[in-house]
Amino acid sequence: MAVQKVLKMGTRGSALALAQSGQTARALEALHPGLKIESVVVMTSGDLFGAPSVEEAKKLAQGAKGFWVKEIEQALLDKTIDFAVHSAKDLPAALAPGLAVAAYPEREDPRDAFFGKPGLTWAALGAGARVATSSLRRSLLVRELKPGVEVVALRGNVDTRLRKLEEEEFDAMILAVAGLKRLGRESVPHEPLDPARMLPAPAQGALALEVRADRVDVAHVVGAIDHGPTRACVELERAFLAAAGGGCGSPVAAHARLQDLGLQLDAFFAREGADAGRRVSGVCSDPARREAFAAELAAQAAAR
């Protein structure tokens, strides 16, 4: 199949988005000699207005996550870009009609990491400590694992958050390891947390390359960096997200990994406004039952 010589790649304009889309472009150009990837920055509603409230998110077809991808997906449908690079955890459970994920490149580290004031470790974190995060999932899991801590709101990009840790009146914060690595900041002191305990967000650490479903030629090009094991794990995690109805104020976590008998999935779900959630786990041995398996686990997690 002939390879189009120039492809326009849509991306958000944050430092992390530009870093990971740039890495993706270089990987594709290396695999397809003569190919040139042009980066097109698309401002999303999330970039312009921040995360929507829970009530606002309920009115959106794709929930809160749609705030971070809606304009990029529209650019795909309008044919102003040929493919898009997303943090896969930002993708809504349902893509816009007419779009598909052509590639999930090999996943970066999916874990969360603990960043403490000098001398403070995760093990030493005790009641009364102030831990900063913007994530409902992290808030609930931190309170579950470290009873008595105070969780405070924290927003901003990675560098802003690291600076606030030095300047603000909180003791620690939680960030994703993958973002730190993609920004070349892995030398910043941090402790990766056990994903079996501090369960990651669905698809955390993975990228998703989205295309129009009718552009088989573009899907062929970007699909060259699809990573089968990553796709299998991420699609199971996203199936749980879809079945649990995450994205509109209900915290969801999901972490899949390959085992001898199939895909092990550990997951967490809490109802909107709840101060605790439920953990569930199981092994999906039949890929054809992925959605049914995810729905069964989601029903267990949602049961009172």
In a shared domain, residues 20 and 133: no
CB neighbour list of residue 52: distance below 8 Å, 6 or more residues apart = 45, 60, 64, 67
Query: Based on the structure, what is the number of domains in the chain?
Result: 3
Of 82, 90, 109, 266, which one is the catalytic site residue?
90
Domain that holds residue 256: 228-304
Q: Which portions of the chain are predicted below pLDDT 70?
A: 1-4, 45-68, 246-249, 304
Final residue before a domain boundary, out of 146, 169, 192: 192
In a domain, 198, yes or no: no
Distance CA 105, CA 257 (A): 16
Distance CA 162, CA 157 (A): 9
In a shared domain, residues 127 and 90: no
| CATH code, 43 | 3.40.190.10
Is 90 one of the annotated active-site residues of the chain? yes
This prediction's pTM: 0.90
| CATH code, 271 | 3.30.160.40
Q: Which amino acid is at 232?
A: A
In a shared domain, residues 152 and 212: no
In a domain, 1, yes or no: no
Q: What's the confidence (pLDDT) of residue 275? A: 86
Q: Which stretches does DSSP call E strand in the chain?
A: 6-11, 36-41, 83-87, 99-103, 112-116, 130-132, 150-152, 172-176, 191-192, 207-212, 252-259, 262-269, 278-284
Give 145-178 pLDDT, tens digit per residue.
Answer: 999 999 999 887 888 888 888 888 889 999 999 9
Three-state DSSP state, 166: helix
In a domain, 239, yes or no: yes
Q: What's the confidence (pLDDT) of residue 82? A: 98
In a shared domain, residues 132 and 251: no
In a shared domain, residues 90 and 74: yes
Distance CA 109, CA 113 (A): 10
Three-state DSSP state, 267: strand
Distance CA 261, CA 247 (A): 30
Share of the chain above pLDDT 70, in %: 89
Q: What's the confidence (pLDDT) of residue 157? A: 81
In a shared domain, residues 101 and 13: yes
